[in-house]
Every structure is written in C-alpha cells, then in structure tokens.
C-alpha cells in the first residue's frame, strides 16, 4: 500500500508537469484528487487494510493528497497567469509609439498688436477703456460733428440694424463722447480699442471689420505739441528708436486742426521704395485737436479745456511691421497665416 502511494504520487507529479492548459489540468484533477480519483480511492481503501497498517497508510495517503492538491493549485495559478499574459499580449497597445504633440494655440496677430499698443500707452499713463460696438447714429456721427447730410458720411458708411438709428460703429471715435461724459470734469487720458465696421468693398487693404485704437487726452493747456510728443514716442517704441514722425494737414469733422501722421519708411528709411510707393513715408494714423463742438458734446467747456485725439488701425500697423500683403489674411481663419506669428 505504501509503495503504491509513493508510486501514485510520483506518477501524478510527473503528469502534472506535462499539463499545459486548463482543460488538461481539469482532467488531471479528476484522475487523481477528484471524488473518484485514484488518491481518493486509495484513502477509501485504507479501511480494508489490517489494523496495524492503517495509521501509516492513512498518514501517507493524506500527505499525498495534500501535496497533490497544493501542486494542483500552483499549476492552476501558473496556467491562469500564462493565459492572462497571452490575452494581454494579444490586445496590447504599443506604448512605444510616439505621442501626438498637443497643438498649442497662439494669440491672434491683432491681439498681439493691440497688447503691444496698450503697453506703450500704459507707460505714458493712458488707461484702456472699452466702448460699445453697436452704436447709435447720434454718437457715431452727430455728436462727432457729422450731421445727417454731411459728405463725410460717405467714407464712414456702415451696417445698419433693423432698429432705427442703431448701427455698427465705423470708428472708435464715438468712445470719445462716452469717455468724456463718464469722466467730466476730470482730466482724461485713455485709449479705446475695439472692432469697427465699414460697408465697403473688401480689398487687399480694406476689410468689413477691423480694429482701431482711439486715443483721447482732455485737460487744461493740452496742445498739439503734446499730441506730437506722445505719437513720436509711440512710433519709436513700435517701429524703432530712429523713427521720424511727420504731420500732414488733413480733415476730420471731429478734430481741428486735423492731421495724418506718417513715419519715415521702415524699409528704406525715407530713400524711397515700393513699400512707401517712393514717397519715403508711411501713414500710420489720423489725429488732431478735439473739436470745440465735440468737447462741448462731451460736457467740457472748450474755453477752459482742450484735448487731442488720434485713431490708428492695429492691422494696418501689423501689415507695415510684418510686411503683410493682404489684410484679408487677418480674419480668413487660415491658421497657416496665424502660425507665422507665434
Ligand atoms: N476716426 C478716424 C477714422 O476712423 C480717425 C481719427 C480719430 C482721426 C481721432 C482723428 C482723431 O479714420
């Protein structure tokens, strides 16, 4: 009996080594340690042995059963692990693939230019003030000294709404009226940035929508020399310390006198080239002394106060600075254009 058990154990262990899958393992279990397995039968047979042989045989049979049961469990665990490993390997993601780089956005060139402008005027004490894009005829035109019949309305034609008198502002100049009415009788030093709209043919140089930055200073004893000083400082910080600024007489209904400001050409420094159309100068903005009527409309007595105002287009400035040939690029939504200005 004892020999028989030793042999059984050796045989079972050997066979277990050969078991390679869970189905074969189950068969092995039934053969040896299952309800009718060989070890189980041997245990049952112990009762039929002569009494003096029973204790030794019983002890060994139990030992064999325990050994085989733990061997079974170990093999089962190993096979399950192997099956799991194989499964994982089959559905595995190859983590060695290079990742897709997240695309990081950049600020729009208009925004970048606006911020450059804010920074320069902030140094000179100008605060940024916001004004509405949907204006009324009164503020966009009439309070700026442009009555209904005035021919200047031609160049400031815009988009009208179904509400009588409500329109999209053609310039940031109506912000002058809001600023004055808000701050009277304080001195004012503000810039008013924002979008403007014009009803006109879209070309290389003009868009339906664009930005402007209005500047306004109101106080006592403000002169055109202050205006020229502020704008010269701006032009030099924006376009280079060696820049020259010149005023050309011009006309705006809301300033008197009015001027257009040019800088010497940033490409040829005044010598004449295609960029400046051989004039040596590049126009950068319109400006002037706030018209007495406009001061009065803002609540300021023109006999006591004076002021200057200017209006510039950041897209136009960026076109000059970066030699952009078509203003339509700004709002076409083509990232290939925008990515050139990270
Ligand atoms: N509002 C004028 C324009 O749109 C520019 C300007 C602003 C001129 C302020 C003088 C003073 O062209």
**Chain segment 210-229, per-residue pLDDT in tens:** 999 999 999 999 999 999 99
Burial letters 2-26, b for 16+ CB under 10 A, else e: eeebeebbeebeeebeebeeeeebe
Give tens-digit pLDDT for 63-108. 888 988 888 898 989 888 988 888 888 888 777 888 888 988 899 9
**What is the C-alpha to C-alpha distance for residues 228 and 27, in angstroms, rounded to an integer?**
101
Q: What percent of the chain has pLDDT over 70?
A: 100
Name the residue of 254, 259, 306, 316 to mutate for ligand 1: max ligand atoms within 8 A of Cβ. Answer: 254
Fold designation for 109-338: BirA Bifunctional Protein; domain 2 (3.30.930)
> Can you tell me which atom of ligand 1 is nearest the CA of 170?
4
d(Cα 72, Cα 77) in Å, to the nearest integer? 9
Residue 341 CA to ligand 1 center (angstroms) comes to: 28
Query: How many Å apart are CA 273 and CA 281, to the nearest integer?
Result: 10
In this predicted structure, the answer to whether residue 241 has a pLDDT above a threshold of 90 is yes
Distance 27 CA to ligand 1 centre (A): 95
Mutate to test the pocket of ligand 1, among 150, 168, 171, 285 (most ligand atoms within 8 A of CB): 171
pTM of this structure: 0.72
pLDDT in tens, 314-331: 999 999 999 999 999 999
* Best of 311, 314, 317 for a ligand 1 pocket test (most atoms within 8 Å of beta carbon): 311
């Amino acid at each position: 009996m004892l020999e028989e058990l030793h042999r059984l154990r050796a045989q079972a262990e050997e066979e277990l080594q050969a078991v390679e899958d869970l189905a074969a393992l189950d068969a092995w279990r039934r053969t040896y340690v299952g309800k009718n397995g060989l070890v189980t039968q041997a245990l049952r047979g112990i009762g039929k042995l002569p009494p003096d042989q029973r204790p030794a045989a019983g002890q060994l049979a139990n030992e064999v059963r325990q050994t085989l049961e733990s061997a079974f469990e170990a093999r089962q665990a190993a096979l399950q692990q192997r099956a799991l490993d194989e499964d994982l390997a089959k559905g595995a993601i190859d983590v060695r693939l290079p990742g897709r780089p997240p695309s990081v956005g950049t600020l729009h060139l208009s925004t970048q230019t606006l911020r450059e402008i804010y920074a320069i005027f902030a140094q000179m004490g100008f605060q940024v003030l916001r004004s509405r894009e949907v204006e009324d005829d009164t503020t966009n035109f009439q309070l700026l000294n442009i009555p209904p019949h005035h021919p200047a309305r031609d160049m400031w034609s815009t988009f009208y709404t179904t509400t009588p008198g409500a329109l999209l502002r053609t310039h940031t100049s109506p912000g002058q009226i809001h600023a004055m009415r808000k701050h009277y009788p304080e001195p004012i030093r503000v810039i008013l940035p924002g979008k403007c709209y014009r009803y006109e043919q879209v070309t290389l140089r003009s868009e339906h929508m664009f930005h402007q930055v209005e500047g306004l200073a109101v106080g006592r004893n403000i002169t055109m020399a202050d205006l020229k000083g502020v704008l010269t400082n701006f032009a030099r910080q924006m376009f280079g310390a060696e820049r020259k600024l010149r005023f050309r007489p011009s006309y705006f209904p809301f300033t008197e006198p009015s001027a257009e400001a040019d800088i010497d050409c940033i490409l040829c420094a005044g010598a004449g080239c295609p960029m400046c159309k051989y004039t040596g100068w590049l126009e950068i903005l319109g400006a002037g002394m706030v018209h007495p009527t406009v001061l009065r409309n803002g609540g300021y007595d023109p006999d006591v106060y004076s002021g200057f105002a200017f209006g510039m287009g950041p897209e136009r400035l960026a076109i000059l600075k970066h030699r952009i040939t078509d203003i339509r690029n700004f709002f076409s939504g083509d990232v290939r254009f925008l990515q050139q200005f990270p």
